[in-house]
């Protein structure tokens, strides 16, 4: 029987998010951690070196924040995405209306997003009530000029990342309880296959990130755990957090050996469970014994 290593995470930031998500690293030494409070309509950050913090509000729910190479951020608000300059000025980018036309069937917002090895932004959606099959995964080209719908029939587009050689993309549609992989050729994907199916009793697979050793660190919503899947998609480590709704994780710090974990108090969906614990919605860190990659920035 394979022994699973158990790891404990500690509170890094005491600010309680309604729905913390989308952790990202930024800065010369990857010392600054960014994340969003989706329903709280905020972008937050904290610096590992100086322990300084900051935040700013946006006008809509916000699914993700991605650092820009020249400074500022790309933010995934409901009607975005937008580029945000250092002075707070925003610039619109192609969005879902440009791809799908006006008049969505259900209220929809952006959720998880990440920049691929080719520099393209992959970004997914979900509907307010998780309507089956009504969401999608999109790709915004690296120049920020064209958005395409790549995968349809999605219910809750969530975690995604790429293998170290860039030849495989991993993807989570949460309500299917699966982690899938695709073969990658440039910015095209093919050959979708299920690599891991979660037990519903273990929580919902949510956000994730890859490490340099071929593993995937996956937040399991409702379990208070982050689980690492090794190269054979077997659970090898479990991180325990004192909050039920862990949502995602990312490597930060000069050695990229610190895992930053976001959590939530609830999904924000009507009648869903609420975590009223002391640490629900806070942001955590730990050293899991692996190193990862810095959050890829956008060049636009």
| Tens digit of each residue's pLDDT (9 = 90 or more) over 205-252 | 999 999 999 999 999 999 999 999 999 999 999 999 999 999 999 999
Residue 294 belongs to a domain:
no
Give the angle subtended at the CA of 255 by the CAs of 34 and 181, to the nearest 5°. Answer: 70
Contact 68, 43 (CB under 8 A): no
Phi and psi (nearest 5°) for 174? -50, -45
Phi and psi (nearest 5°) for 225? -140, 150
Domain span at 192:
5-286
Confidence of residue 281 (pLDDT cuts 50, 70, 90): very high
Please give the Cα distance from 164 to 162 (Å, whole number): 7
Residue 253 belongs to a domain:
yes
Confidence of residue 2 (pLDDT cuts 50, 70, 90): low
Summarised one tens digit per residue, pLDDT across range 165-175 is: 999 999 999 99
Residue 298 belongs to a domain:
no
* Percent of the chain's residues with pLDDT above 70: 99
pLDDT for res 119: 97
Please give the Cα distance from 20 to 25 (Å, whole number): 15
Number of domains in the chain: 1
| Mean pLDDT computed over 255-268 | 96
161, 173, 206, 211: the catalytic one is 206
Residue 299 belongs to a domain:
no
Residue 36 belongs to a domain:
yes
Residue 181 belongs to a domain:
yes
Annotation marks residue 201 as catalytic: no
| Mean pLDDT computed over 283-295 | 97
* CATH (domain of 79): 2.120.10.30
Please give the Cα distance from 145 to 193 (Å, whole number): 30
Residue 293 belongs to a domain:
no
Contact 251, 293 (CB under 8 A): yes
Summarised one tens digit per residue, pLDDT across range 121-130 is: 999 999 999 9
Please give the Cα distance from 130 to 156 (Å, whole number): 6
Residue 103 belongs to a domain:
yes
Please give the Cα distance from 146 to 156 (Å, whole number): 23
Tell me the average pLDDT of the chain.
96
Please give the Cα distance from 67 to 85 (Å, whole number): 11
């Amino acid at each position: 029987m394979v022994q699973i290593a158990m790891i404990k995470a500690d509170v890094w930031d005491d600010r309680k998010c309604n729905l913390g998500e989308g952790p990202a690293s930024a800065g010369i030494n990857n010392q600054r951690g960014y994340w969003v409070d989706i329903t709280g309509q905020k972008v937050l950050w904290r610096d590992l070196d100086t322990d300084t913090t900051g935040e700013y509000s946006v006008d809509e729910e916000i699914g993700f924040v991605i650092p820009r190479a020249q400074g500022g951020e790309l933010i995934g608000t409901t009607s975005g995405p937008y580029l945000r300059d250092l002075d707070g000025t925003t610039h619109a980018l192609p969005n879902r209306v440009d791809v799908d036309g006006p008049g969505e069937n259900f209220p929809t917002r952006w959720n998880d997003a990440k920049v691929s090895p080719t520099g393209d932004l992959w970004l997914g959606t979900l509907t307010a009530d998780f309507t089956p099959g009504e969401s999608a995964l999109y790709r915004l080209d690296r120049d920020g000029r064209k958005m395409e719908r790549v995968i349809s029939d999605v219910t809750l587009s969530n975690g995604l990342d790429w293998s170290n050689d860039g030849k495989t993309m991993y993807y989570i549609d949460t309500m299917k309880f699966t982690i899938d992989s695709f073969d990658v050729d440039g910015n095209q994907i093919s050959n979708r296959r299920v690599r891991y199916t979660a037990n519903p009793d273990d929580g919902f697979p949510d956000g994730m990130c890859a490490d340099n050793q071929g593993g995937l660190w996956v937040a399991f919503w409702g379990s208070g755990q982050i689980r690492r899947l090794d190269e054979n998609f077997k659970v090898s480590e479990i991180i325990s957090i004192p909050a039920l709704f862990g949502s995602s994780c990312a490597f930060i710090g000069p050695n990229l050996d610190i895992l930053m974990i976001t959590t939530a108090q609830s999904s924000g969906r009507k009648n869903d469970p609420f975590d009223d614990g002391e640490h629900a919605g806070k942001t955590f860190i730990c050293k899991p014994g692996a190193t990862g990659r810095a959050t890829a920035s956008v060049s636009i």
